[in-house]
Chain A
Amino acid sequence: MIRWLMWTLGGLLLGGIVHLATVLAMPQAATQDAYSRLVPVAPVNRMTLLPAPTPEVSILPFMDPAFAAGVCRYDLSTGSIKLNAPVSEAYTSVTFYTRNSIAYYAINDRAAGRRAIELDLMTAAEHAQIPEEEDVTAADRLIIDSPTITGIIVLRALAPEPGLMPMARRALVAAQCHIEPVH
């Protein structure tokens, strides 16, 4: 009896370990995460306007249909990313996600405080290599450190009413995301 109690206790403990391990391994094991879903539609280091979600097709689940959305699937292995997004008339935001869908930075038009959101994205290692004086002259450009080499930038522009969707999409078409080789 005692012996079976011990086996059960061991099973419970081991079960707890299995549970924690599978939860922690999920981000690496998931095949239908946002990045994987965007691979077929969004080329690397370019801004791509996403089709609006419809009842039939939605590239990602839980997309906000009131927003026009553009994605830049980035790869920082050959340089840094320069993002330039003119703000739309209503509300514009930029959110940076790691390869594993963690939102590590987000900024909206009002916080950016200008007519365009201009950002440089690079790895922390590359940021550290920028000479200090250059960092000062470039101070008006916000530099974001990406925790991962690859990831996703999502640009969102609000259409306060459905008739304004073309306006929101136009603002996104003008946005640019391009790689600047390491010098």
Chain B
Amino acid sequence: MRLLFGSFFTFMLAAAIGLGATWLSLTRGVAFGSMTIGAWTAWPKSGSQNIDPYAHATIVRSGELPVGIGDGVAFYARTDNAGNYFDGRCTFTVSGMTPPARYWTVTLYNMEGGLVANTIDRHGFTSEEIVRNADGAFTITVAPLARPGNWLPTGGIERFVLVWRLYDTPIGVATTTMKEGPMPAVARKGCS
């Protein structure tokens, strides 16, 4: 009887810990070999055959196709530089410079990777259409209500993700220092 209780306890514990850890790692996006610059994190290896098992499991579960390493690299941000989660009811600015790349795009998604409906049908910017200052730097205002300049509407949703994709770029698996990749700074400017 003791043996039965004991083994039952062991199996329940194993199932709870094992499945719990898997669920946590897949929903929180655990992956190794990440490269973080300010608020931005990329997993260059996810675009190659050397993708780690956690990143692979996350990708097949979401249905996403990662950017291949010969194509470019994708940086994800869920918070600003201070660690505040992106809230679509607040205003954030994304400003500065980007690492060298032939083209880049920045896109706003909901947590499931879908685009967010808004009045001007804008979901992001490309390096060609962004309005820059004289020195080449730029500021994007991510806000629920219309702003002058580069306005990226949030649609007022509670949580969003920004994805910065660099195409045809030397940034990748071999990048080791942050100096090579000056990513734009993200700051919260207040909430409505």
Contact = CB atoms under 8 A, between A and B. Distances in A.
B64 A60 contact: yes
Interface residues of B, number: 64
Contacts of A18: 14-15, 17-19, 22
Contacts of B65: 34, 60, 95, 97, 101, 103, 152, 154
A61 to B, nearest CB: 3
A24 B53 contact: yes
Interface of B: 2, 6-7, 9-19, 21-22, 25-26, 46-49, 51, 53-54, 56-57, 59-72, 102-103, 105, 107, 109, 112-118, 123-124, 126-129, 155, 163, 165, 167-168
Q: DSSP majority for the A interface? A: mixed
B58 to A, nearest CB: 8
A23 B25 contact: yes
A16 B13 CA distance: 10
7 contacts: A19-B21, A24-B53, A61-B63, A64-B163, A65-B124, A101-B66, A160-B128
B107 A65 contact: yes
Contacts of A60: 63-65, 113
Q: DSSP majority for the B interface? A: mixed
In order of increasing CB-CB distance, the 10 nearest A-B pairs are A18-B18, A61-B113, A106-B68, A15-B17, A11-B13, A14-B14, A106-B70, A160-B128, A26-B57, A55-B117
A126 to B, nearest CB: 19
B17 A12 contact: yes
Number of chain A interface residues as a range:
35 or more
A24 B51 CA distance: 12
Contact of B116 (A37, A55, A106): A55
A104 B168 contact: no
B103 A90 contact: yes
B136 to A, nearest CB: 17
A110 interface: yes
B31 to A, nearest CB: 11
Contacts of B102: 91, 110
A166 to B, nearest CB: 16
A55 to B, nearest CB: 4
Contacts of A90: 103, 128
A22 B70 CA distance: 30
A13 B21 CA distance: 13
Given A61-B114, A62-B109, A65-B123, A3 B21 contact: no
Given A18-B19, A158-B126, A101 B107 contact: no
A159 B172 CA distance: 23
B118 to A, nearest CB: 8
A161 B115 contact: no
A62 to B, nearest CB: 4
Contact of B126 (A21, A66, A103): A66
